[in-house]
């Protein structure tokens, strides 16, 4: 087991636990003093058959009453209409302000449950139990919640910190290859922006990552969580350095939208990271090549399908991360030295984009 504590200013906010299975979760719930409270588990129709009953059996005695709601899976269902489904289930169950919601699933379920918890009765507590690699290293940590609106990713949302994050390695064994690779897109991004020892570790342990070795995965997720912790604690509401976590996201989110979400989020971050690296004067061609090879070894594509740059550029300008009329783009002085560039010309971005697009 590995543990990380997240602080807001000087106060403990919540803990992250990394375990090999669900065996320790009831013990961790004791620190929340939830024995007298109800809990609503929110999951989706992909995760529910795999892990819902197992989780229910482990935590039933930790709460006074328990219900679940199963949503349709997929980014296309990350909408306000499905948030209404969570509200309806919470009202029917009689969930009160001292009660809990649990997000059991990937990033979509986590973001939606967090947003529902942030807005139901003006805010109730929620627990993240991420079941995908992407969610375990990224979306379950830091309190960003939200839904997509008119195909714009996470356009409606709120900051609402979980009260506990519990990541189990055994849920990764059921991940399809594309979803597993998606998590690797965010992991590599972490290694590019912080901790100079992390990228060499990934290079050295790529075979263990390919084989989903539990010990290698636990250490990798722990190191990525440490990086996310560093930026979240430093800048909880993304006014400054936390923006560096958006490396690869400006073009990545736009590609994701223009491709109508046919690519996973982490895959689009990988595309965006390669495009951003090509704009970094302090990154050598050998470094770029080794990063590209690492991505390929971990089943990430390094060339996206042909699409119109004008559509991508238009989507990028409408992204919630942009600052008025200036495109905010995260670049690197060198590996693990990020900065914000607001002076990139459209033509420069276009050249970087087409470098990693199929002919």
Nearest to 275 by CA among 242, 243, 313: 313
Q: Which of 25-29, 75-79, 87-91, 319-323 has the lowest mean pLDDT?
A: 319-323
Give CA–CA dist 188/258, Å, rounded.
23
Q: Over range 97-122, report the average pLDDT.
A: 98
Domain hosting 320: range is 181-355
Same domain, 283 and 162: no
**How would DSSP label each residue in 274-290?**
HHHHTT-TTS-HHHHHH
Q: What CATH number is associated with residue 193? A: 1.20.1090.10
pLDDT at residue 184 above 70?
yes
pLDDT at 320: 63
Which among 153, 174, 195 is the end of a domain?
A: 174
Asked if pLDDT for residue 285 goes beyond 80, the answer is: yes
Work out the number of other CB atoms within 10 angstroms of the CB of residue 158: 14
What CATH number is associated with residue 47? 3.40.50.1970
Please give the structure tokens belonging to residue 211: 């084989």
Average pLDDT, integer, range 121-148: 97
Is the domain of 89 the same as that of 129? yes
Same domain, 120 and 69: yes
Distance CA 277, CA 281 (A): 8
Predicted local confidence at residue 323, as pLDDT? 62
Integer CA distances (angstroms), 321 to 212, 264, 266, 327, 340, in order? 33, 19, 17, 9, 12
- Say yes or no to pLDDT of 325 above 70: no
CA within 13 Å, CB half, 199: 21
- Model confidence band, residue 108 (pLDDT cutoffs 50, 70, 90): very high
Cα within 13 Å of Cα(173), Cβ side: 9
Is 66 in contact with 56 (CB distance < 8 Å)? Answer: yes
Among 206, 171, 164, which residue's Cα sits nearest to residue 187? Answer: 206
Q: Are 53 and 70 in contact (CB under 8 A)?
A: no
Together in a domain, 89 and 217: no
At CA 358, angle to CA 355 and CA 359, rounded to 5? Answer: 95
Contact 115, 144 (CB under 8 A): no
- 31 and 49 belong to one structural domain: yes
**Which segments within the chain are labelled E, that is strand?**
2-8, 11-19, 38-44, 65-71, 100-105, 125-130, 144-149, 152-159, 164-168, 329-334, 337-341
Confidence of residue 321 (pLDDT cuts 50, 70, 90): low
Q: On the CB side of 185, how many CA atoms lie within 13 Å of its CA?
A: 30
| pLDDT interval class at 213 (50, 70, 90) | very high
């Amino acid at each position: 087991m590995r543990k990380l504590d997240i602080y807001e200013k000087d106060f403990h906010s919540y803990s992250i636990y990394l375990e090999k299975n669900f065996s320790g979760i009831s013990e961790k719930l004791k620190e929340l003093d939830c024995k007298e409270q109800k809990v609503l588990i929110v999951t989706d129709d992909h995760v529910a058959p795999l892990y819902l009953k197992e989780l229910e059996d482990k935590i039933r005695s930790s709460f006074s009453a328990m219900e679940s709601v199963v949503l349709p899976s997929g980014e296309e269902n990350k909408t306000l209409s499905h948030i209404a489904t969570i509200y309806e289930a919470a009202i029917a169950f009689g969930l009160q302000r001292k009660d809990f919601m649990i997000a059991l699933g990937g990033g979509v379920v986590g973001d939606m449950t967090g947003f529902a918890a942030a807005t139901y009765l003006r805010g109730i507590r929620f627990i993240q139990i991420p079941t995908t690699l992407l969610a375990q290293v990224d979306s379950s940590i830091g309190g960003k919640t939200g839904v997509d609106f008119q195909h714009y990713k996470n356009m409606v949302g709120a900051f609402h910190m979980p009260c506990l994050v519990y990541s189990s390695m055994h849920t990764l064994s059921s991940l399809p290859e594309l979803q597993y690779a998606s998590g690797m897109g965010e992991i590599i991004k972490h290694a590019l922006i912080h901790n100079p020892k992390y990228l060499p570790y990934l290079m050295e342990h790529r075979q263990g990552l390919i084989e989903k070795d539990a010990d290698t995965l636990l250490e990798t997720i722990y190191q990525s969580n440490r990086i996310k912790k560093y930026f979240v604690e430093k800048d909880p509401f993304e006014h400054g350095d936390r923006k560096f976590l958006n490396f690869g996201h400006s073009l990545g989110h736009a590609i994701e939208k223009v491709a109508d979400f046919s690519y996973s989020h982490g895959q689009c971050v990988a595309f965006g990271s390669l495009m951003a690296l090509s704009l970094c004067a302090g990154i050598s061609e050998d470094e770029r090549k080794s990063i590209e090879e690492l991505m390929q070894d971990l089943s990430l594509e390094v060339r996206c399908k042909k699409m119109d740059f004008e559509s991508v550029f238009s989507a990028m300008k409408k992204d919630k991360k942009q600052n008025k009329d200036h495109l905010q783009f995260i670049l690197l002085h060198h590996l693990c030295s990020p900065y914000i560039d607001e002076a990139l010309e459209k033509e420069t971005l276009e050249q970087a984009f087409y470098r990693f697009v199929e002919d």
